[in-house]
Amino acid sequence: MQSLTKIAADLAAGAKSRGLIEECLARISDPAGEGKRVFLKVHAEAALAAADYYDHLRARGAAPSRFAGIPVSIKDLFDIAGDVTTAGSTVLRDAPPTKHDAPAVARLRAAGFIPIGRSNMTEFAFSGLGINPHYDTPRNPYDRKTGRVPGGSSAGAPVSIIDGMAFGALGTDTGGSCRIPAAFCGVVGFKPTAHRVPTAGAFPLSTSLDSIGPLAATVACCAALDAVLAGEQAADLPLFPLEGLRMAVPQTMVLDGVEPAVAQAFETALAALRKAGARIVDILLRELDEIPRINAKGGLSAAESWAIHRALIAKYEKQYDPRVLVRILRGKEQDAADYIDLVNARADYIKRMAAITAPYDALVMPTTPVIAPRIADLAADEAYRHVNAAVLRNPSIVNFLDRCSISLPCHRAGDAPVGLMLIGEHGADRKLLSIAAAIEKAVSPTQA
């Protein structure tokens, strides 16, 4: 994988955007590759034309940013002018093409990034595994021969990066959909505070929980993309000092059922951080046990997705992935009073948790308790349900708290990818990215 900084430097030194696009398109079209599973639509002609345009501007010193001409993949959840936004479904295939880019896509274009295609995803973004029965499932680059899930719902995003089909990816995160694929595949995934990036033009799952964030090779790459998506001035990311960094490891729920490979990578990462001067403490944080009770009737995702989908389900129920459909239908269990109680309980919970975690710069835990499971092991619905709940458990805490979070690789090179998840405070996005960039230097995958 190449970083955006390296590619930008190459472009400044005379490399051509057209060459980048041609290389990516060649990988996408390789019959032995994953392109047919990763992309639901490829914008080859438009991408080549944009590359020529930015090469022309750069030659005259007029490129809109140092990243102009770099290709990125766009999750099929986003409106792209002239495209039908299918959200990984067959239900919406006959919908009219959209007339405008989603704001997130428009901001990437304004900075000069080139959307190279629409990446595959879990239907309607409602799973953490990335399996799609309609368009097939992108294979995780790790142990591809076995066939492991890429993580979801932004399933095609990390594979597009690792396989060199794009150099960054636009994803969404309602309960971990940027961070789980990043953890399973070995890239970085960032979930911003929800209000940071406008969600207009992205087909919603839960209007209360949806966030829009990037996946990329490094923390600095994600920080650069985040600044563009948030409409901020891009700037170099300072490293937060590890000496004296205050981090807390919750002991309730988040370490339950952790596989040995994940536990080993996590403990090795913590040891490296302690050696670098970070102050890491275990905290009980029993309040985490309240989340399943508060969400006992399916939570905000079920209630709000049912409101969004009930008319579509009335017409096209048989076209839905049954495993997605059953989760949406849970929203029928809630009435208006249940929903109001849930909203109020969440607000109270956020307030109480903010007071408890205020002394720490970040919370830290494994992104998921397991490595990427084999697709074949999820054939039975009960196995799928159990594993899906397990991988969503830790990341979804962040969405419920409306905070920022990031997953970065912490495994040993050659081993199964494992994600280290950091959780910051509401609105402390750039601070968390600075912390993550410093931690990345201490825990990124190394040879044995």
Is 191 in the active site?
no
For residues 132 and 88, is the Cβ–Cβ distance under 8 A?
yes
CB within 8 A of 390, min separation 6: which ones? 257, 368, 369, 370
Active-site residue, selected from the candidate residues 75, 119, 206, 444: 75
| Sequence-ordered list of residues with C-beta below 8 angstroms from that of 19, at least 6 positions apart, any chain | none
**C-alpha distance from residue 304 to each of 22, 201, 269, 420 (Å):** 41, 17, 37, 30
CB of 387 closer than 8 Å to CB of 378: yes
Structure tokens that stand for 325 in this block: 């459909």
Per-residue tokens: 333? 């269990």
The Cα 40–Cα 83 span in angstroms is: 11
Taking a C-beta distance cutoff of 8 angstroms, is the pair 32, 83 a contact?
no
Question: Which is catalytic among the residues 17, 160, 177, 405?
Answer: 177
As a whole number of angstroms, the distance between CA 68 and CA 4 comes to 11
- As a three-state string, the secondary structure of 91-151 is CCCCCCCCCCCCHHHHHHHHCCCEEEEEECCCHHHCCCCCCCCCCCCCCCCCCCCCCECCC
62: which residues sit within 8 A by CB, 6+ positions away?
Answer: none
Of the candidates 17, 73, 127, 153, the residue annotated as catalytic is: 153
Q: Find the length of the chain.
A: 448
Residue 186's region, left for phi above 0, alpha for psi from -120 to 50, else beta, is left
Q: Is 3 a catalytic residue?
A: no
Instruction: Clarify whether 75 is annotated catalytic.
Output: yes
Determine the Cα–Cα distance for residues 379 and 1; give it in Å rounded to an integer: 32
Q: What's the first-to-final CA gap in the chain, in angstroms? A: 20
Report, as residue numbers or ranges, the catalytic residues.
Answer: 75, 153, 177
